[in-house]
Amino acid sequence: MSIHIVALGNEGDAFHQDNRPSGLIRTYLGRSPLVSGDESSLLLNATGTVARPVFTEYQASAFGNVKLVVHDCPVWDIFDSDWYTSRNLIGSADIIVIKYNVNDKFSFHEVKDNYIPVIKRALNSVPVIIAAVGTRQNELPCTCPLCTSDRGSCVSTTEGIQLAKELGATYLELHSLDDFYIGKYFGGVLEYFMIQALNQKTSEKMKKRKMNGSFHGIRPPQLEQPEKMPVLKAEASHYNSDLNNLLFCCQCVDVVFYHPDVKEVVEAHKIVLCAVSHVFMLLFNVKSPTEIQDSSIIRTTQDLFAINRDTAFAGASQESSGNPPLRVIVKDALFCSCLSDILRFIYSGAFQWEELEEDIRKKLRDSGDVSNVIEKVKCILKTPGKINCLRNCKTYQARKPLWFYNTSLKFFLNKPMLADVVFEIQGTTVPAHRAILVARCEVMAAMFNGNYMEAKSVLIPVYGVSKETFLSFLEYLYTDSCCPAGIFQAMCLLICAEMYQVSRLQHICELFIITQLQSMPSRELASMNLDIVDLLKKAKFHHSDCLSTWLLHFIATNYLIFSQKPEFQDLSVEERSFVEKHRWPSNMYLKQLAEYRKYIHSRKCRCLVM
């Protein structure tokens, strides 16, 4: 017998990471006298989708011979990256532990806004423990501007209790992870629910035994489990590396930075720079000073850069379209000498501050000059109307790249700002940016840089896809994510992804279709208008081997439903043979069931099972 515990949320303090204690779950497993398992065997690698597992898995023994399996996921983004696996684990949990740090309101809101809705949908009389970890550093919120954000204030007891009431959960405050709070307080509550779970499982097991033992005579046939469906593994994202490679390949360059006294000329792309900085938005007239309304950003733009309107300029590469790149004078010579490193930092996501500082130190010997350049970079990345949040680079080092914060490339999706190419689809136009298309799609990179008509054209017709599908395709290229409206839209997007050879988007669409079909109850499968065989044939035609294999297994597993539909006859001989071989329930079971019913009817006895 086993107990499955799922732990969600981050109990660490984001502002005091140097003195960060061990995790709540690991500390409990290491200290509880009821749990056995040495340190080397406690932590196991969980099965995940790509490079990082969705959950960290712990295994131990509790109460002597009870297997204890704990899945811990402190980061929402990792949880959300494979939500199909995450949802299944939550659905099979015997106990759910939600944890956050009282001094990190971000961790509380991540639990409240992200984890809680998922748990509410999957919750089925499973006990939930909410653990508020840490001692509040500042009980009364400060009124100064630096402490008015949600991340800078403590999570009150009232907020935690209110969250527990919404879930019907048990609320605990653990001021520290010592023996008292872990062993007696948290451990006592957790072990109580563990005992309740064991009692419930034992009771259900006894009921099954009683049912089996109460029937004497011929037993009904045992229905075997259907074959396991093929597992689809998602492809790792290469979004950041695509944009970083764009800087080195020097394709679609539309801006050049230089200083009269510095020999080095630095090429870049307006769209990428504007995606992370309002300074560049102001410089390239994407936004006006009135829209930005931040004097420090306006001052930084004026002090650092000036646009050169001269037509002749040596050293700048010419684009195939014939439009020369915009020339920008960098007024600070030291800043210009480090600009190649700064741009590499920005194209990588603008979060690897320590690497940037190390690269600048290699070029500038004076520490004051290094600090001055770093401060200018922070000013460039500043968000309008907010105090510079990048003052502590080491704290910011652990966070995600700026593509997921502030302004992003989605701001420019289907907008004419900085657009240098226009797609014509179904009589309408969709503006886009060559730099992003070239960086994210190899087919478009070849199209725009080869000896093709599209390389010199601004207006490019697109055939074979709808405008909605193509916009969803562009949304993926710009943001690395997409959300199809349904199975039909996902298949259209998969076809578009196959046409442009974007394999990761194909996998995303495959996973979406599979998840949607798996979540449908049998009654909905029987009544839906979607032609599953047509879906199978499209998947095969567009080289979606994983999806086509899965759909064949899905038809076989739901044989009694799909065999009654007219499109079932459209299966090829090979497909029909596969479905008949793997069908569920099998022909043998149906024959045995018919014989059993006949026996029951002939003996005129009452069947306790059927």
Predicted confidence at residue 104, as pLDDT, reads 85
**By the 8 A CB rule, do 589 and 227 touch?**
no
Residue 219 has a pLDDT of: 77
Higher pLDDT, 604 or 410: 410
2-8 and 35-36 beta bridge pairing: unpaired
Q: Which stretch of 122-136, 430-444, 477-491 has the lowest confidence by average pLDDT?
A: 122-136
Query: Are residue 491 and residue 530 in the same domain, yes or no?
Result: no
Res 407: pLDDT: 44
Span 518-527, pLDDT tens digits: 999 988 998 8
Is residue 1 a contact partner of residue 67, using CB atoms and an 8 Å limit?
yes
* Residue with the two structure tokens 């997007």: 493
> Is 115 in the same domain as 169?
yes
Torsion of CA 340, 341, 343, 347, to 10 degrees: 130
At 17 the pLDDT is 46
Q: Are 559 and 447 found together in one domain?
A: no
247-279 residue pLDDT tens = 888 788 999 999 988 888 899 999 999 988 899
- pLDDT (0 to 100) of residue 455: 81
**CATH number of the domain that 298 lies in?**
3.30.710
Same domain, 281 and 176: no
Q: How much is the pLDDT for 592?
A: 87
pLDDT value of residue 606: 53
Same domain for 425 and 352? no
Task: Report, as an integer, the average pLDDT of 451-470.
Answer: 89
pLDDT of res. 41:
47
Same domain, 278 and 340: yes
Say if CB 382 and CB 425 are below 8 A apart. no
The predicted pLDDT at position 348 comes to: 83
Once rounded to an integer, what is the mean pLDDT over residues 56-65?
Answer: 81
Structure token digits, residue 362: 């290699």
Over 70: is that where the pLDDT of 491 sits? yes
Query: For 27-49, how does the pLDDT look when each residue is reduced to its tens digit (9 = 90+)?
Result: 888 776 666 554 444 444 334 33
CATH number at residue 97: 3.40.50.300
Instruction: Give Cα 299 distance to the centre of its chain.
Output: 37
pLDDT of 240 > 50? The answer is yes
pLDDT at 195: 87
Q: Determine, yes or no, domain membership for 104.
A: yes
Count of the separate structural domains present in the chain? 4
Give domain status of residue 392, yes or no: no
Residue 101 has pLDDT above 50, yes or no: yes
pLDDT band of 434, cuts 50, 70, 90: very high
Residues 566 and 424 in one domain: no
Quick: pLDDT tens for 297-346.
999 999 999 998 775 554 545 444 457 889 999 999 999 999 999 999 98
Mean pLDDT (the chain, rounded): 82
**Degrees (nearest 5) of the Cα angle 486, 487, 489?**
65
The least confident of 17-26, 281-290, 363-372 is 17-26
Judge whether 534 lies within some domain: yes
Task: Report pLDDT for 201.
Answer: 84
How many helices (H) and strands (E) are present in the chain, helices listed first? 30, 15
Domain annotation covers residue 461:
yes
Is 80 exceeded by the pLDDT of residue 431?
A: yes
pLDDT of amino acid 34: 62
User: What pLDDT does residue 339 have?
Assistant: 93
Q: Are strands 35-36 and 56-62 parallel, antiparallel or unpaired?
A: antiparallel
Domain containing residue 172: 2-38+53-138+152-208
Answering whether pTM is above 0.85, one says no
Residue 599: count other Cβ atoms within 10 Å of its Cβ.
14
Q: Is pLDDT larger for residue 44 or for residue 386?
A: 386
**pLDDT category, 18, cuts 50, 70, 90?**
very low
Same domain, 58 and 118: yes
Give the CATH number, domain containing residue 418: 3.30.710.10
Cα distance between residue 402 and residue 274, in whole Å = 12
- Of 362, 381, 400, which one is at a domain's C-terminal end? 381
Residue 16: predicted pLDDT: 47
Tell me, what's the pLDDT at 125?
A: 78
pLDDT band at 13, cuts 50/70/90? low
Query: Residue 311's pLDDT is what?
Result: 56
In a domain, 506, yes or no: no
Residues 197 and 260 in one domain: no
Instruction: Kindly tell me if the per-residue pLDDT of 478 is higher than 90.
Output: yes
Position 183 confidence tier, pLDDT thresholds 50, 70, 90: confident
pLDDT confidence tier of residue 460, bands split at 50, 70 and 90:
very high
**Are 181 and 108 found together in one domain?**
yes
Highest mean pLDDT out of 140-149, 318-327, 384-393, 470-479: 470-479
Does the pLDDT at position 139 exceed 60? no
Same domain, 17 and 125: yes
User: Which residue type is seen at 273?
Assistant: L
Cβ-based neighbours of 391, under 8 Å, separated by 6 or more: 378
- pLDDT of residue 55 exceeding 50: yes
> Does 239 map to a domain?
no
For the segment 344-366, what is each residue's pLDDT rounded down to a tens digit? 998 887 778 888 999 999 988 88
Any domain includes 221: no
Residue at 241 is within a domain: no
**Treating both helix axes as pointing N-terminal to C-terminal, what angle do 545-557 and 503-518 enclose, rounded to 10 degrees?**
10
549 pLDDT more than 60: yes
Residues forming beta bridges with residue 57, ordered by sequence position: 44, 71
According to the model, what pLDDT value does residue 175 have?
Answer: 86
Can the peptide bond before residue 585 be classed as cis, meaning omega within 30 degrees of 0?
Answer: yes
Nearest of 15, 13, 40 to residue 24 by alpha carbon: 13
332 in the same domain as 259:
yes
The angle at the Cα of 96, spanning 90 to 97, to the nearest 5 degrees, equals: 130
